[in-house]
Structure 1
Amino acid sequence: MKVEIAKGDDGLALAELRVLAMRESLESIGRFDPKRARERFLSSFQSSNTHKVIDGEKLVAFYVIENHKDHLFLDHLYVHPSYQGKRVGSEILLSIIDMGVSEKKAIRLGALKGSRSNNFYMAHGFVKTHEEEFDNYYELAFE
């Protein structure tokens, strides 16, 4: 597998992957709306901070990292359902953690309440900082 910076015309394929990856979690809380999920992603898509993971010719995951003055914000991390449970997400997250360590910046992120991703992030050392109506927020700090 290789990691590449996204291109401007990758937005729709990334939005489709987001819909596939989030479907189960959104259905479980009665909020699955594929059109809204696509539009929400595409409205803020910037290829320069979006990394896609490719296996052969197949898009299997992507993530978005925003580099702020005092922290890194993991805005998106989605893995194709057929690649979930195969350590793809963990490998991505460990590389982001390495980035945080080397830059001496905390990593922050949000996760949909009720999603399995909450346990995934906590298993990697993230601590819940607060919650809002639909999301839990986490941080992993390095000191």
Structure 2
Amino acid sequence: MADWELRPASVADVEAVAELRAAVLRPDLMRLGRYDAQRVRQRLRDGFTPAHTWMIEVGGALAGCVALRPAKDTYWLEHFYLDPGLQGRGIGSAVLSRLLERCDREAAAVRLNVLQGSSARRLYERHGFTVETEDEVDVFMVRDPVPAWRWPRGN
């Protein structure tokens, strides 16, 4: 696995993340008949909150992003995009594990939605997410916190 780092996002990151989102989601949105080049970028711009977002860097270069937005008794995992050329190398799993550990320490559930048929769903299922509801486009998933007594020793 490549060395990676998380850094806080800034307002200046929005356009790079919008482009990354378009590249990552294009295959699934095309398959679902819902790809719109303008809309895929604008939805990111409209929902981008730097205070809850981290940039994923590999070798000092932008590799992805992830947001963890607090809500009542839960967090929403949003805008989790990783450069397609870096997918499958364990980076996404490592980033997700780090965020989930934080949520477990706060005894908070984590929710997300993933596009129907997306390969990302397997990643989420491996990390304990289960389906809450779904429709023709989205699958809404939840992961309850892991109790402290189940944490590995040394945590």
| TM-score normalised by the chain length of structure 2 | 0.87
Q: Which amino acid aligns with 1:24?
A: P
Q: Percent same amino acid among aligned pairs?
A: 31
Could you tell me which of 97, 103, 108 is aligned with 1:105?
108
More deviation, 118-127/36-45: 118-127
Per mean C-alpha deviation after superposition, the further-off stretch among 3-12 and 49-58 is 49-58
Matches within 5 A, 1:6-21: 6-21=9-24
Residue in 2 that maps onto 1:5: 8
Distance between the aligned counterparts of 1:123 and 1:10, measured in 2?
29
> What secondary structure does 2:118 align onto?
coil
Instruction: Indicate the RMSD between aligned Cα atoms, in angstroms.
Output: 1.2
User: Would you say the 8 A contact 2:77–2:111 is kept in 1?
Assistant: yes
Gaps of 5+ in 1: none
Q: Distance in 2 between matches of 1:56 and 1:123?
A: 27
Matched residue type, 1:70: D
Aligned with 1:83 (options 81, 86, 90): 86
Cα offset, 1:32, TM superposition: 1.8
Max Rg structure: 2
Could you tell me which residue of structure 2 aligns to residue 36 of structure 1? 39
Q: Is the 8 A contact 2:32 2:137 kept in 1?
A: no
User: The residue matched to 1:115 in structure 2 has which SS?
Assistant: coil
Q: What per-residue deviation string (whole Å, max 9, x for no partner) do you get for residues 55-104 of structure 1?
A: 12321110011112301110221110000001111011101110111000
Question: How many residue pairs were aligned?
Answer: 143
1:124 aligns with one of 118, 127, 130: 127
Matched, 1:136 2:131: no
Number of the residue aligned with 2:150:
none
Shift, 1:133, TM fit: 3.8
Runs of 4+ in 1 over 3 A off after TM superposition: none
1:62 paired residue number: 65
How far 1:28 sits from its partner (Å)? 1.5
CA distance in 2 between counterparts of 1:87 and 1:71 reads 25
Unmatched 5+ residue regions in structure 2?
Answer: 148-155
TM-score by length of 1: 0.94
